[in-house]
Copies of this chain bind each other. A is one copy, B any other.
Amino acid sequence: MSKAKKLESEVVERPDDITVTAPESHENFTNIKPFEYWNDKSGSDRNALVILNQSIEGCNLYKLWHNTELHVCADGGANRLYEYFNNDTNDNRSKYIPDYIVGDLDSLKDEVKNYYETKGSKVIPQITQYSTDFTKSMNIIQLYFFSSESRQSLDSVQDFNNGIAESLEKFNVPNNQAAIRIYILSGIGGRFDQTIHSISQLYILNESVPYLQLFFITTSDVIFLLKKGKNYVSYPSKSTFHDKSSVPTCGLLPLGNNEVILSTYGLKYDVTNWPSEMLGNVSSSNGVSGVTGFIVDASDPIVMNIETSYAI
């Protein structure tokens, strides 16, 4: 297996298991729990599943679906959901009906549109080419969770060009909302421009709508953004997300056009004041050592991936 480039002076190799204490509550840090969706739905229901128009074959749809409140398909993402049940003999297709299907709808198949409309999905055309179906899905999620009035506005969208974005502007949603967790299937791992568009949105939404917490789920890993400053990534145990390796693979990926200075505690190869950038050091093929969590201090937001054995 490939290993991260490790600079002797700034890298320490850890044992497979180390205990990392959570930061003190008075410290300023962001707690990220990437694997909440493996737990039964409980507590907050401010979470959503989004399906984009790339293959979802091999993805663990059921767990994600039942642990999320709102289900949105972006245009041809509805085709992917529909086709997921092509070989299913238990009529599961009729049990997994998205709440909304949104986009310019140039990919949505008539058969799929008719099926889901009959079953109660709201299909909302938004044909503007100046935003993507991904962005249109994020707008729906914000309106759905903000207030009963904004949620109701989704029942009567009149402007099929860009009405949802304009409605969102009208409601003027403040940024100090409670977090909304959004799990996204098929945003990463298919066509590469779609993958990079997803990553770009991860950075852009972190600035413009910071209360949206995005988690991209692929057949091999979970991908999310660490915030600027101290991040505490936590989980009940490593077996929550991996049952085949004591040190699940992970990476810290500086895709935001800035060099990021990293200090970590709880990875297999921990770094201190380590400059990371695409034309220099990238911490790939690293591993998770912390038994219930680890800490990443970052001078700027940075993408992280953690391998999971449960996606497929």
Contacts and interface: CB of A to CB of B under 8 A. Distances in A.
Interface of A: 1-8, 52-53, 74-76, 103-104, 106-107, 129-134, 188-197, 199-200, 203-204, 207, 218, 220-221, 223, 249-251, 253-259, 277-279, 282-286, 303, 305, 307
Nearest to A253: B196
A285 B192 contact: no
**Stoichiometry, copies per complex:** 2
B2 A194 contact: yes
A2 B279 contact: no
Nearest to A132: B2
Given A192-B251, A194-B284, A207-B279, 11 more contacts: A1-B104, A1-B107, A6-B130, A132-B285, A191-B220, A197-B282, A200-B282, A203-B278, A203-B279, A257-B258, A257-B279
28 contacts: A2-B133, A2-B194, A3-B129, A3-B132, A5-B132, A6-B129, A7-B130, A189-B189, A191-B220, A191-B307, A192-B218, A192-B253, A193-B249, A193-B282, A195-B195, A196-B282, A197-B284, A197-B285, A200-B278, A200-B279, A203-B278, A203-B279, A207-B279, A254-B257, A257-B259, A257-B277, A257-B278, A257-B279
